[in-house]
Homo-oligomer: A and B are copies of this chain.
């Protein structure tokens, strides 16, 4: 016997499973290194006899498509692959329509699965395709970015963008399985990993001070890979799974997940989702900073909590000011108008996720427009 562990045996010891409890729609998120190469076996276990359509983008296809296809072949799963351009602009009607047509042309049936291999764009788009073809096919998420692993692949939000805003067209549609292979995160540019980390930090800030504190200590280990990275992904998935299980259709508590997103979405929209200027997680980072500052402004949050958020986000290299976004930004009135059209608006009143302390967020409905406007003006002038 060699005393060297086979890589597979080593990695399966490190697998974590997070269960999303949604009654008949419950599913597992598997987290660990090397899952991509075992995807076929995991899919076959959950959906015996299903054929699959892989939807991926050009960038991810070059990095991770072959191992996935090989793994499906090994499990005897028939597959077709549809590749879309990388980038947020792919989440549009024209591409949605084309994919729906492609899947139908491939004669996939209701019991067959769409497999999303990619980041949030691919996952959101593919999920809406899965929800809409034959009124609902099976759906598997294989998220390849940190953002997708800790956020967009979990919870069933799918959709595409509209000229009126982001994610305004879509469905709540749960996957049958999520495979988060943390090894693929090694292929991410630092900027993308860092942006995804904003969502990781968010779970601490919205409801888990000990996790935020753990991140303050361990963030470097998370960034360089290893067990801390898996731990951060698993704790984030667990946090999201808990919220989603309590409120699948965003009637209440799920709105907490939007901490930083009301401001963040407005900033993304203001730059027309131009990712060279701002990616989602960066918008969330600035948005979280603004949410904490706004909470302080309203007399809800002490300054030292604001400082602590600022210190950590700055330390990891995330932007925290609107001025960090390259190029011209629209005036505060325009940002407010974008916020008002955001789907988190309820009956004309502005809803914000505010913070009483690190790890203690809450939904505040009926925020006064004028206060937001003044706050934004000041932040734009700062």
- By a beta-carbon cutoff of 8 Å, the part of chain A in contact with chain B is 49, 93, 97, 100-101, 104-105, 107, 109-111, 131-136, 157-159, 162-165, 167-172, 249, 341, 343, 345-347
Interchain nearest-CB distance for A296 vs B (Å): 29
Q: List 17 A-B residue pairs with CB atoms under 8 Å apart, sorted by A's residue number.
A: A49-B347, A97-B97, A104-B164, A104-B169, A105-B164, A109-B343, A109-B347, A111-B346, A131-B171, A132-B132, A133-B168, A134-B168, A135-B157, A135-B158, A135-B171, A136-B249, A171-B171
Interchain nearest-CB distance for A47 vs B (Å): 12
On chain B, the residues within 8 Å of A110 by CB distance are 343, 346
Number of copies: 2
Given contacts A111-B346, A343-B109, A345-B109, contact A172 B101 (CB under 8 A): no
On chain B, the residues within 8 Å of A343 by CB distance are 109-110, 134-135
Besides A93-B97, A110-B346, A111-B346, 5 new A-B residue pairs in contact (Cβ under 8 A), listed by A number: A49-B347, A104-B168, A132-B169, A135-B157, A136-B172
On chain B, the residues within 8 Å of A135 by CB distance are 157-159, 167, 170-172, 343
Name which residue of chain B comes closest to A157, CB basis: B135
**Does A111 contact B164, Cβ atoms closer than 8 Å?**
no
By secondary structure, the A interface counts as mixed
Question: How far apart sit A343 and B109, CA to CA, in the bound complex (Å)?
Answer: 7
Question: How far apart sit A104 and B167, CA to CA, in the bound complex (Å)?
Answer: 12
Given contacts A343-B110, A347-B111, contact A170 B132 (CB under 8 A): yes
Name which residue of chain B comes closest to A345, CB basis: B109
On chain B, the residues within 8 Å of A249 by CB distance are 136
Name which residue of chain B comes closest to A100, CB basis: B169
Interface centre among A134, A135, A170, A343 (most CB of B within 10 A): A135
On chain B, the residues within 8 Å of A162 by CB distance are 100-101, 104
From the candidates B93, B132, B171, name the one contacting A136 in the complex (CB within 8 A).
B171
Interface centre among A104, A159, A165, A346 (most CB of B within 10 A): A104
